[in-house]
């Protein structure tokens, strides 16, 4: 199965994530070849050049000035990762055929033999018909092939029959070249087209690009090819050979770009400022000495966000595109190539890992070794893959690991089917009594749960709920109606609790006691309990509709939630055990549920629960209370709604109410009655805010004594 998924590319996205992680971890501190430099049109350049060149796009005399500065450095090549496909507007009244700024760039390009301009060859999907303004498969302008094609071009520009490229890359059908005068003036061209993988990450690049059977160098290789002066360039299976230089490629004839974390970079504006300093004779204050760039391959491109040339690469999600070309050039100069592994190795590892894992799980008796052997193989393989990447050998990680994990799951499934009949029988018997979370733990550890003395101290969230005035209601109904109503009500509430992986401790008459965080541990147990409570209130509406259809009165409930430590275990005798929780915090949670009646609120949670919420839920502070039997005051809050069940506008309005209510509560505790009442005017007139409004007005008339701390002491449960 894994082999088929790998063959059809279904694992490519995960493999890309693995590849990117290795690249980021291993290459982030690597430095590109010192003979490769990058001149960036960065945000600082756009600001600094505003008075000199105006707003972007700049007039092209700016690039002519840059070439003049770079000429002092006598570089090996200057590669523009900027396309100059169209000429700027001319002044017809002065009979201009070319804009003066464009002319300056053309003359500078012609003057310096180290300049390479950007071209694009693409496979265009636009239909080549009468309705399209794009004409596909056009021949290149006359002389372009003879001047720049690697199939025809010798070191002196003359054709050479033995200079042969044998690549099978698909033909492109459209092109974008520098405007004619610039194309005729340049010493060379470099193709800047780079395609991302299917997950939009740029990992590969072509060395050469095909157009109608002729091949042209990429921007990264153009100057290097001219410097090497090769007699032959050929494609041999998994590599491209430039005379004796062998460059590994993948099955798509692309090179895996071996990125770097550090490059020799210069700001465009800094070089222009240095030129002006040289021209004015102010050598002492020059920002960049041309000697720093002497003999280098210099790539020019944009890094400013507004230039839209930031690429998602394995080493940086917003890497300027020019660094792709600079990286590949550095790879060639340093022979620092990533070598893709043969697909046969991947399939061999898939088979080997599957066999080892299956034999381990199915035939080794000891559970530790049964799992330790596949785990050891996995760790050894991951370590080896990481080490190989450090040495520039790229091996597929996801497919072999998927085969190991898949075989482990399948083998354990088979073992369970063969050996787990008694356990499944026990599970079917107990499933009607226990929640799914508790049931799974009990079934897996039924020997332990048979002992009454098992217990542990756990940090959990406890929930108590109760139907209000149920005694009066039940007295008016027959026993059958009471049972029918409770069963329907409990079924709905149980679903709300089980949907959040809660454990129902017990049903106490019309009350429910549940908890989260044990026996299945979770970090978000407070959040799950709060969401379950809000869901219970939502489900109550449906329950009341059902009661109405039955001719019964609607019911209301109160839910109290508290988070804290409790004792968890099987408590009882050898003949009768209850898996339950006990402790001071359990009693407190029960008290909180009782407070819902006094405040006329459906749900109350304690501050301890609120602090443990992982996802923001709008909550309104209700009061600071001291429940009966407790000395320490407890802050209680009312959760308003479920964030994922309302639109954004409603959610934001709820958060505004919560924020304003917090301000009111702070004013209340600080005895700032007028400020609190002013805030309350903007809040809904519900039971919480009405209570706070009444208290503030009362305290404003009759201020509390000096010992008042804002705590309301309860005298009953």
The model's confidence at residue 471, banded by pLDDT at 50, 70 and 90, is: confident
CA–CA separation, 449 vs 459, rounded Å? 20
Q: In 132-250, which residue ranges form alpha helices assigned H by DSSP?
A: 144-148, 180-185, 222-228
Judged against a pLDDT cut of 50, whether residue 263 lies above it is answered with: yes
Structure tokens at 176: 């974008």
Length of the chain: 717
CA–CA separation, 459 vs 586, rounded Å? 11
Judged against a pLDDT cut of 90, whether residue 298 lies above it is answered with: yes
CA–CA separation, 625 vs 634, rounded Å? 5
**pLDDT at residue 716, as a whole number:** 57
Q: Which residue has the tokens 């001071």?
A: 584
Question: Residue range 441-449: average pLDDT?
Answer: 59
Query: What's the whole-model pTM score?
Result: 0.58
Percentage of the chain exceeding pLDDT 90: 53
Q: What is the pLDDT of residues 152-169, one digit of tens each?
A: 554 444 443 334 455 555
The model's confidence at residue 603, banded by pLDDT at 50, 70 and 90, is: very high
CA–CA separation, 119 vs 209, rounded Å? 11
Judged against a pLDDT cut of 60, whether residue 339 lies above it is answered with: yes
CA–CA separation, 552 vs 545, rounded Å? 10
Which pairing describes strands 711-713 and 174-176: parallel, antiparallel, or unpaired?
Answer: unpaired
CA–CA separation, 33 vs 40, rounded Å? 17
CA–CA separation, 519 vs 535, rounded Å? 22
Are the C-beta atoms of 264 and 34 separated by less than 8 Å? yes
**pLDDT at residue 452, as a whole number:** 39
Question: Residue range 477-491: average pLDDT?
Answer: 91
Which pairing describes strands 310-311 and 214-217: parallel, antiparallel, or unpaired?
Answer: unpaired
Residue 346: partners with Cβ closer than 8 Å, 6 or more residues away: 6, 395, 396, 399, 400
Question: Residue range 380-408: average pLDDT?
Answer: 94
Are the C-beta atoms of 90 and 98 separated by less than 8 Å? yes
CA–CA separation, 153 vs 128, rounded Å? 31
Show the 3-state SS of 327-381: HHHHHHHHCCCCEECCHHHHHHHHHHHHHHHHHHHHHCCCHHHHHHHHHHHHHHH
Q: What is the pLDDT of residues 90-116, one digit of tens each?
A: 765 666 678 888 899 999 999 999 999
C-alpha 31: how far from its chain's center? 27
CA–CA separation, 610 vs 631, rounded Å? 21
Query: Residue 57, preceding bond cis, omega within 30 degrees?
Result: yes
Round the average pLDDT of the chain to a whole number and report it: 86
Q: What is the pLDDT of residues 634-683, one digit of tens each?
A: 999 999 888 888 888 888 999 999 999 999 999 999 999 999 999 888 88
Question: In a 3-state reduction of DSSP, which class is residue 204?
Answer: strand
**pLDDT at residue 147, as a whole number:** 86
- The 10 Å Cβ neighbour count of residue 431 is 12
Are the C-beta atoms of 89 and 53 separated by less than 8 Å? no
Structure tokens at 363: 């035939």
Judged against a pLDDT cut of 90, whether residue 684 lies above it is answered with: no
Give Cα separations from 346 to 375, 398, 400, 454, 533 (angstroms).
19, 10, 7, 49, 50
**pLDDT at residue 229, as a whole number:** 84
Judged against a pLDDT cut of 90, whether residue 250 lies above it is answered with: no
Structure tokens at 426: 């026990």
**pLDDT at residue 159, as a whole number:** 43
Phi and psi angles of residue 501, each rounded to the nearest 5 degrees, phi first: 55, 35
Instruction: Give 9's Cβ-side CA count (13 Å radius).
Output: 3
Q: Would you call 685 exposed, middle or buried from its count of C-beta atoms within 10 A (0-12, 13-18, 19+)?
A: exposed
> How far separated are the first and last CA of the chain, in Å rounded?
62
Domain boundaries, the chain: 33-339, 341-419, 451-615, 619-717
Structure tokens at 310: 């930031």
The model's confidence at residue 237, banded by pLDDT at 50, 70 and 90, is: confident
Query: If you classify domain 451-615 with CATH, what class do you get?
Result: alpha beta
CA–CA separation, 643 vs 615, rounded Å? 9
Are the C-beta atoms of 193 and 321 separated by less than 8 Å? no
Residue 3: partners with Cβ closer than 8 Å, 6 or more residues away: 347, 350, 399, 403
**pLDDT at residue 421, as a whole number:** 63
**Least confident piece of the model among 373-377, 449-453, 695-699:** 449-453
CA–CA separation, 505 vs 302, rounded Å? 63
**pLDDT at residue 67, as a whole number:** 95
Query: Residue 369, preceding bond cis, omega within 30 degrees?
Result: no
CA–CA separation, 398 vs 12, rounded Å? 9
Judged against a pLDDT cut of 90, whether residue 564 lies above it is answered with: yes
Q: What is the pLDDT of residues 180-217, one digit of tens each?
A: 999 999 999 999 999 999 999 999 999 999 888 888 99
**Least confident piece of the model among 135-149, 174-188, 567-581:** 567-581
Are the C-beta atoms of 217 and 207 separated by less than 8 Å? yes
């Amino acid at each position: 199965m894994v082999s088929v998924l790998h063959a059809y590319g279904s694992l490519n996205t995960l493999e890309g994530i693995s590849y990117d992680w290795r690249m980021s971890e291993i290459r982030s501190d690597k430095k590109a070849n010192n003979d490769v430099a990058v001149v960036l049109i960065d945000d600082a350049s756009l600001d600094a050049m505003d008075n000199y060149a105006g707003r972007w796009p700049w007039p092209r005399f700016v690039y002519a000035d840059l070439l003049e500065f770079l000429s002092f450095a006598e570089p090996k090549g200057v590669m523009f990762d900027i396309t100059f496909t169209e000429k700027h507007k001319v002044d017809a009244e002065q009979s201009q055929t070319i804009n003066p700024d464009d002319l300056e760039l053309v003359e500078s390009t012609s003057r310096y033999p180290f300049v390479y301009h950007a071209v694009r060859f693409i496979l265009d999907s636009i239909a080549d018909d009468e309705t399209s303004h794009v004409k596909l498969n056009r021949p290149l302008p006359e002389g372009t092939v003879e001047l720049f094609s690697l199939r025809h071009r010798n070191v002196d520009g003359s054709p050479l029959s033995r200079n042969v490229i044998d690549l099978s890359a698909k033909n492109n059908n459209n092109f974008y070249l520098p405007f004619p005068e610039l194309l005729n003036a340049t010493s060379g061209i470099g193709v800047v087209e780079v395609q991302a993988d299917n997950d939009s990450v740029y990992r590969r690049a072509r060395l050469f690009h095909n157009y109608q059977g002729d091949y042209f160098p990429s921007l990264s290789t153009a100057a290097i090819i001219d410097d090497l002066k090769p007699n032959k360039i050929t494609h041999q299976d998994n590599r491209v050979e430039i005379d004796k230089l062998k460059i590994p490629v993948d099955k798509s004839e692309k090179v895996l770009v071996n990125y770097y974390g550090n490059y020799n970079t210069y700001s465009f504006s800094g070089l222009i400022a240095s030129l002006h300093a040289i021209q004015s004779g102010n050598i002492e204050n020059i920002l960049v000495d041309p000697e720093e760039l002497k003999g280098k391959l210099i790539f020019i491109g944009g890094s400013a966000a507004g230039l839209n040339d930031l690429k998602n690469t394995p080493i940086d999600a917003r890497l300027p595109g020019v660094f792709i070309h600079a990286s590949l050039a550095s790879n060639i100069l340093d022979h620092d190539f990533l070598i893709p592994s043969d697909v046969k190795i991947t399939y061999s590892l898939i088979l080997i890992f599957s066999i080892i894992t299956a034999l381990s799980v199915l035939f080794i008796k000891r559970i530790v070794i049964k799992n330790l052997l596949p785990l050891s193989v996995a760790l050894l393989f991951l370590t080896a893959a990481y080490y190989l990447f450090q040495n520039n050998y790229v091996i597929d990680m996801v497919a072999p690991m998927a085969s190991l994990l898949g075989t482990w799951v399948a083998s354990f499934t088979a073992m369970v089917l063969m050996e787990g009949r008694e356990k499944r029988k026990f599970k079917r018997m107990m499933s009607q009594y226990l929640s799914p979370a508790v049931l799974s733990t009990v079934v897996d550890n039924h020997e332990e749960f048979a002992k009454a003395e098992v217990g542990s101290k756990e940090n959990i969230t406890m929930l108590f709920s109760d139907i209000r005035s149920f005694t009066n209601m039940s007295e008016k109904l027959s026993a059958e109606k009471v049972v029918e109503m409770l069963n329907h009500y409990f079924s709905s509430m149980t679903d709300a609790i089980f949907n959040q992986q809660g454990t129902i401790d017990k049903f106490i008459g019309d009350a429910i006691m549940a908890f989260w965080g044990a026996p299945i541990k979770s970090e978000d147990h407070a959040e799950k309990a709060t969401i379950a409570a809000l869901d219970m209130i939502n489900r109550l509406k449906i329950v009341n509709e059902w009661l109405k259809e039955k001719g019964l009165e609607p019911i209301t409930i109160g839910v109290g939630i508290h988070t804290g430590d409790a004792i968890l275990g099987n408590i009882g005798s050898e003949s009768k055990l209850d898996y339950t929780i006990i402790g001071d915090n359990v009693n407190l949670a029960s008290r909180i549920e009782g407070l819902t009646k006094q405040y006329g609120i459906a749900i109350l949670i304690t501050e301890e629960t609120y602090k443990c919420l992982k996802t923001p839920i709008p909550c309104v502070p209700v009061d600071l209370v001291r429940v009966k039997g407790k000395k320490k005051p407890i802050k209680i809050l009312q959760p308003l709604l479920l964030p994922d069940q309302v639109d954004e506008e409603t959610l934001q309005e709820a958060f505004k109410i919560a924020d304003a209510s917090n301000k009111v509560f702070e004013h209340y505790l600080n005895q700032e009655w007028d400020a609190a009442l002013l805030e309350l005017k903007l809040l809904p007139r519900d039971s919480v805010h009405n209570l706070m409004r009444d208290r503030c007005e009362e305290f404003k008339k009759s201020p509390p004594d000096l010992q008042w701390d804002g705590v309301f002491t309860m005298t009953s449960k």
